[in-house]
Structure 1
Amino acid sequence: MLSEMKDHQSLMAALSENVLIVRMLLSVIFLPGASAGCGAITPVLFSTTPNFMEGLSGSCLQIPCSFNSTDPRYDITRPIYGVWLKATTAFNVTPSSVIFNSSKSVNIYQLEMIGNLTEKNCTTLFSDLNTSYTDRYFFRIESGPVRATACADPLQITVKDSPWSPSINISGGDLKEHQSVTITCSALTPCPHSPPELTWNLQQDSHRQTEKNTDGTFTTKIQENITLSDTHDGYIRCSARYPVNGGNKTAETAVTLSVSYAPRNTSASISPSGLVSAGSWVELNCSSRAKPPASFTWFWNSKHGTINVSVGQVYSFNVTEGGEFYCLATNDLGHQTSSVIRVSIKDNQVSGFTVHIILKILGIIMLYSTIILLECWFRFFKKPKMKTQEPTYVNSEMAKES
């Protein structure tokens, strides 16, 4: 009988032990703190920070932070200190995990508590970051008997060597000429005390603004309101230059700004150029800068009026008579007319030229002929007459006497 009672007691003890183990397991599984990463501990301190933040080596990182405690022992009249722990989880915390205590007892990473803890503001500034700071962090408060860690609210910090590329945003729908749009270039600003300098290939006098986001982080931006034209069609480039210890780090972003516009620089050309022979082929070509691409129509200023002679960029034809030609470039946003080009037939020009030369030659011949005739006339009719010499007779008798 005694042995049976002992066996029964042993069995009950084993059952009790098993029940206790089950209860402990259930408490770990179902406690609110367990689901939040606090294990069997029910958290009494809750911090509000971004879940993930990035910093740039050589710069600073401002952590927006606020907290709330449900510990009934928490008394705001007591001195309160903020502590930051660097640990993978809230369970592997050791004395070496403490990197900062606002009591100034520990400050391994040169942190600064810039928030007012009595107002539950734990905003903290990391100075002179380096990549070794990449890790998980927990906030903790120490105030009188209260020693509480926000184990359910870890903050993951990653420190990079390269800066972030800025982003470019363009407001409005379809981008067409004469439309007003707002173009914004913005850059992540982990260190609002040394915001990045932004420049772009738009107006260089754009005013830089550093704005606070809803989660307490910051963004630096430049903004421009512009009326679009064909000159804005192309790339917009924006660069962000971050000040760091020992210099600057720069990143750039480029986006394509596709602006629709009416035809520009419409012109017409002819091949072959110069005078052409009747019956030969000529080719007229029309070009224009437009978006969307323009369609082309050719017109001929004939003696009967303006005639639509062809549709298309190139107009080839057999020359039968000359005249003036021009093209019209058209798209959905407008149209533009080219200057006039003249097609002149060589044969007609040569014939007229020949007649003109012949007339000149005939005139010169007639002029010289007239001069020669006049000179001959003067020589013939105006020549002085020579006097006739009387014959001399010798007296025969006197001749005889002599």
Structure 2
Amino acid sequence: MDSHLFITAPKKMEALSGSCLHIPCNFTAKPEDEFNSTRQTFGVWMKSDSRFAVNPNNVVFNSSGRVNKYPMNITGNLSQKNCSTLFSNLTTSHTDTYFFRVENWPYIATALCDPLQITVKDSPWSPSIHISAGDLKEKQSVSITCSALTPCPHSPPQLTWNLHPDSHSETEENTDGTFTTKLQQNITLSHTHDGYNISCSATYPVNGGRNKTAETQQTLSVSCK
């Protein structure tokens, strides 16, 4: 397959039904092709099949306004080759393979070699707990982090844990343009922490005010120095 358009985006993404998905995306055209940022540029998302001529009905969104079957919005600046997209009001029926297409007449191309697999789940992901040291010993200072996938940074999960009930979680951007929400606490270990069960919950806001929650637990094992 000879593609004239390439996108930099995750290959696979997961999202939660009733929430949204931020798709980080940048594109490049072949150097010899005539993409011109001064011309009007439209972004198109197609599902299932990259062959526009064969399946034009597979177009689910066109930023020109001609097609808006799915609740998508290109938030990036296409003239700067940023195709970042917000996919809202997700349902499990939106699970599919998607292809991005640029219309910058007369330059028109589809990123044939860069499909994006989106899977929409009904159940949230359990958060993960990470401890900065492997072998835990008394009087050792460690950093404990609870982190949760954040496909929809506009409506991030609320993290709570028993380590410090008044902690405030923060959402940060990862190097690939996706987001993670974290709680972090530094503690000095003592013998009382041996056998202590850390419990962290991630509550995701979804449409209709019905929150979805998942929990993770991890037990500390602290040895004498």
TM-score by length of structure 2 reads: 0.94
Aligned counterpart, 1:65? 25
Cα distance, 1:93 vs structure 2: 4.8
- Aligned counterpart for 1:199 among listed residues 160, 164, 167: 160
Cα distance, 1:107 vs structure 2: 1.0
Specify whether residues 110 and 155 from structure 1 end up closer, same or farther in structure 2 by C-alpha distance, changes over 3 A only: same
Runs of 4+ in 1 over 3 A off after TM superposition: 88-93
Unaligned runs of 5+ in 1: 1-37, 262-332, 334-402
| 1:301-320 per-position Cα deviation (integer Å, ceiling 9, x unaligned) | xxxxxxxxxxxxxxxxxxxx
Aligned counterpart, 2:218? 255
Distance 2:216 2:54 in 1: 42
Does residue 121 (structure 1) correspond to residue 82 (structure 2)? The answer is yes
Does residue 210 (structure 1) correspond to residue 185 (structure 2)? The answer is no
Distance 2:53 2:132 in 1: 49
Aligned residues of 1:90 and 1:138 also touching (Cα < 8 A):
no
Aligned residues of 1:137 and 1:155 also touching (Cα < 8 A):
yes
Q: Which has the larger radius of gyration?
A: 1
- AA matched with 1:240: A
- AA matched with 1:255: Q
Distance 1:93 1:54 in 2: 28
1:231 alignment partner, SS class: helix
Distance 1:183 1:224 in 2: 5
- Aligned counterpart for 2:11 among listed residues 51, 57, 79: 51
Distance 2:100 2:144 in 1: 39
Larger fraction in helix: 1
- Aligned counterpart for 1:130 among listed residues 88, 91, 97: 91
2:90 alignment partner, SS class: coil
- AA matched with 1:254: Q
TM-score by length of structure 1 reads: 0.54
Does residue 245 (structure 1) correspond to residue 204 (structure 2)? The answer is no
Aligned residues of 1:78 and 1:143 also touching (Cα < 8 A):
yes
- Aligned counterpart for 2:198 among listed residues 236, 248, 258: 236
- For these two proteins, the number of residue pairs brought into alignment is 222
* Superposition CA RMSD, Å: 1.4
Cα distance, 1:91 vs structure 2: 7.3
Unaligned runs of 5+ in 2: none
Q: Considering Cα pairs closer than 8 Å and 6+ residues apart, tell me whether 1 or 2 has the greater RCO.
A: 2
Cα distance, 1:205 vs structure 2: 2.0
Specify whether residues 55 and 46 from structure 1 end up closer, same or farther in structure 2 by C-alpha distance, changes over 3 A only: same
Aligned residues of 2:50 and 2:110 also touching (Cα < 8 A):
no
Aligned residues of 1:177 and 1:259 also touching (Cα < 8 A):
yes
| 1:173-195 per-position Cα deviation (integer Å, ceiling 9, x unaligned) | 42122111000000000000000
